[in-house]
Amino acid sequence: MDLPRQERGTVWRVGRVALLLVLLTVSLAHPGGAAFAQATALALSPAQGPVGTSVVATASGFAPGDTLSLFLFPMTEPVATATADASGGAQIPFAVPSLEAGAHLANVQSAAARSADATFTITAAEALALSPAQGPVGTSVAATASGFAPGDTLSLFVFPMTEPVATATADASGGAQIPFAVPNLAVGAHEANLQSAAGATASATLTITAAEALALSPAHGPVGTSVTATASGFAPGDTLSLFVFPMTEPVATATADASGGAHIPFAVPNLAVGAHEANLQSAAGATASATLTITAAEALALSPAQGPVGTSVVATASGFAPGATLSLFVFPMTKPLATATADASGGARIPFTVPDYIDAGGRQVWVGSPSGAHADTTFTITPAQALAP
């Protein structure tokens, strides 16, 4: 058809516009076209944490409305799905599944076969260990934290305290060494709880024991006396060495039991009469002391030491345990002739009368206590003087 020149120009212009529209449509439909110049990307926040950690995956560069599936290898099922928004992005929250610790590939795939990758590192679960895990108030303890986010601020609490006993910053591996002193709390088990600024927590049990202590039974006696030292408040399994000063070698050793105590028998060493420090030392450096008073050996003196039947005698005992009940016998009698209680210095004055049913001659006078300590001497019974006719 032969159109006028003006109409032919209008058709030509319309045709050019149509052709441009067709070319633009083809360009948009082609994967290599300008609309797909933006690369896909995947970012994870946080990028590491233990199993169960809440993570937000941020996808970008996908086609608007595309279905996105997020995988965490080696899993073959997606951990989460989402739909790309008008800008081709999506926020995809998920919880870290139960996989081995280490680096894992996180991959987001679209229905249009586009994808993006990132790495998520699964760390060990948050944990707290205490060394030692028990001790009296003031004990130095090292708390070892692991499994936290690198750079996170960690605060250590010992309940029921509401203020932290120590703080630290997690290192690049998510751990920290946190030294602290056992606070002044009641004896018993207490929860030690480590809290991070990000909300992660870990707990362990701190057992506060009584302070190291040493008790002696008996606490005094002559050389050779059998004594039991009772230790408490030490670290379980610690080696304990008992010294009686000025001796430089231990008189006995023992191992603290599971409760940090021990019964340590020993014999009073051959030292001078008087007060001596008994000092118990542990291999870990803990100590406790008590006083051991070495007394003179048990002794008995009579005044007078001889006389006839009916003579009044005072027996003077020494070297016994204070407060001990003392019984005096004159052999061959089988029942005590007199009793007394040892005073604070372990002595006693015990008056008695020579009985009239014992023959003249040397007779053993014996004083003893329920513990088995005893002393003896001889009283000579002289014949009664005969009256002149």
Confidence of residue 215 (pLDDT cuts 50, 70, 90): very high
| Residue 224 CB-density burial (10 A; 0-12 exposed, 13-18 middle, 19+ buried) | exposed
Instruction: Walk across the sheet containing 213-217 and list its strands.
Output: 213-217, 226-232, 262-267
- CATH number, domain with residue 344: 2.60.40.230
In the chain, pLDDT over 90 holds for what percent of residues?
64
* Structural domain total, the chain: 5
- Average pLDDT of the residues in 17-25: 36
pTM of the predicted structure, to 2 decimals: 0.48
pLDDT reading at 336 higher than 80:
yes
pLDDT reading at 33 higher than 60:
no
What are the distances in angstroms from CA 64 to CA 21, 36, 41, 86, 89? 22, 12, 14, 5, 8
pLDDT reading at 32 higher than 70:
no
Range with the lowest mean pLDDT among 4-8, 86-90, 175-179, 344-348? 4-8
Looking at residue 387, its pLDDT comes to: 54
Confidence of residue 388 (pLDDT cuts 50, 70, 90): low
Claim to verify: residue 43 and residue 32 sit in the same structural domain:
no
Looking at residue 30, its pLDDT comes to: 40
- Average pLDDT of the residues in 97-114: 92
Looking at residue 5, its pLDDT comes to: 47
| Residues 229-255 pLDDT 10s | 999 988 889 999 999 999 999 999 999
Q: How high does pLDDT run on average in the chain?
A: 87
| Residues 291-332 pLDDT 10s | 999 988 889 999 999 999 999 999 999 988 888 999 999 998
| Residues 171-189 pLDDT 10s | 988 899 999 999 999 989 9
Looking at residue 125, its pLDDT comes to: 84
20 inside domain: yes
Looking at residue 245, its pLDDT comes to: 96
Which one of 85, 107, 122 terminates a domain? 122
User: Strands 134-135 and 166-169, how do they pair?
Assistant: unpaired
- Average pLDDT of the residues in 252-261: 91
pLDDT reading at 21 higher than 80:
no
Residue 249 DSSP class: S
Looking at residue 35, its pLDDT comes to: 44
44 inside domain: yes
Looking at residue 244, its pLDDT comes to: 97
Claim to verify: residue 189 and residue 220 sit in the same structural domain:
no
355 inside domain: yes
> Under a CB-based contact definition with an 8 Å cutoff, are residues 123 and 147 in contact?
yes
Claim to verify: residue 132 and residue 178 sit in the same structural domain:
yes
Claim to verify: residue 218 and residue 290 sit in the same structural domain:
yes
181 inside domain: yes
- Average pLDDT of the residues in 265-277: 93
Claim to verify: residue 303 and residue 374 sit in the same structural domain:
yes
Looking at residue 4, its pLDDT comes to: 52
Which one of 279, 294, 309 terminates a domain? 294
Residue 337: give the domain boundaries: 299-381
133 inside domain: yes
Confidence of residue 364 (pLDDT cuts 50, 70, 90): very high
Claim to verify: residue 131 and residue 195 sit in the same structural domain:
yes
pLDDT reading at 49 higher than 90:
no
> Under a CB-based contact definition with an 8 Å cutoff, are residues 380 and 305 in contact?
yes
| Rounded CA separation 161/145 (Å) | 20
